[in-house]
Amino acid sequence: MSITQNIQTVRERIAVAAHSAGRAPEAVTLMLAAKHQPLDNLLEAAHAGATTFGHNLVQQLQSSTRGLLEAGLTTTNTVIGPVQSNKLRAAMDSADRIDTVDSVKTATRIARRQEARIADGLATGPYPVLIQVNSSGADTQNGCAPGGLLELAGQIMDLGLVRIDGLMTIGANTSDESQIRKSFALTRALGQEMREYLDLPGATELSMGMTGDLAIAVEEGSTIVRVGTAVFGARPGR
């Protein structure tokens, strides 16, 4: 099947899951994970209606966003992987948001860089981020501990130049659906608690769910699903 057909199939999966949970399918954004995908694939996806891309690699983020713009396509481009400090400037200049903030150290670097961007006329306000939560407690996954979220979010708010738009998580890496659902439900509850406790009514994004568990994520309140394999197939070299 083509990328265009795959996107339609994934959208149908999202719609089925949304309807089963009493939600509108339009409330869920399909983010395409672009890691190692050639520009031609991203162009085909964009022409098929995809508007949001997630990037793990800063160099590819730069080249693909430039290519999409040159093709006259307006897209939202987000960082969904760890960002090394020496690549932060490039990431922020090319990405609309960074979804993997899990420490005050990272947020402080973003705030300092945003201050410089404002001074250079490249920005006018806080830089948007999602806080990544390790909802499964797995040692192999990044993210702040659930019990430390409110403290971290408060510290990020105090920086002034970083705006929290919501939370991101990776579901439990298991075939046990109950454990996957538990990790997503926890993230949803944490988001609600953060909004109420810290008075952040706009921090409504919940980026959770990928190719294998997107239906569970949508049923548990995800507003963004990150899909790569179901649209593009196995990544090159895998």
Phi-psi region of 34 (alpha: psi -120 to 50; beta: other; left: phi over 0): alpha
Instruction: Name the maximum alpha-carbon separation found in the chain.
Output: 50
Q: State residue 60's pLDDT score.
A: 94
Mean pLDDT for the chain overall:
95
What average pLDDT score do residues 86-102 get? Answer: 97
What average pLDDT score do residues 146-165 get? Answer: 97
What average pLDDT score do residues 152-168 get? Answer: 97
pLDDT band at 175 (very low <50, low <70, confident <90, very high): confident
Question: Is the confidence at residue 206, as pLDDT, over 70?
Answer: yes
pLDDT band at 186 (very low <50, low <70, confident <90, very high): very high
Q: State residue 171's pLDDT score.
A: 87
Three-state SS string across the chain, please? CCHHHHHHHHHHHHHHHHHHCCCCHHHCEEEEECCCCCHHHHHHHHHCCCCEEEECCHHHHHHHHHHHHHCCCCCEEEECCCCCHHHHHHHHHHCCEEEEECCHHHHHHHHHHHHHHHHCCCCCCCEEEEEEECCCCCCCCCCECHHHHHHHHHHHHHHCCEEEEEEEECCCCCCCHHHHHHHHHHHHHHHHHHHHHCCCCCCCEEECCCCCCHHHHHHCCCCEEEECHHHHCCCCCC
Question: Token pair for residue 149?
Answer: 């979220």
Q: State residue 235's pLDDT score.
A: 65
Question: Token pair for residue 201?
Answer: 């009514």
Q: State residue 138's pLDDT score.
A: 83
Q: State residue 13's pLDDT score.
A: 97
Q: State residue 130's pLDDT score.
A: 98
Q: What percent of the chain has pLDDT over 90?
A: 92
Question: Is the confidence at residue 238, as pLDDT, over 70?
Answer: no
Q: State residue 236's pLDDT score.
A: 57
Question: Is the confidence at residue 1, as pLDDT, over 80?
Answer: no
Question: Is the confidence at residue 21, as pLDDT, over 80?
Answer: yes
Q: State residue 228's pLDDT score.
A: 95
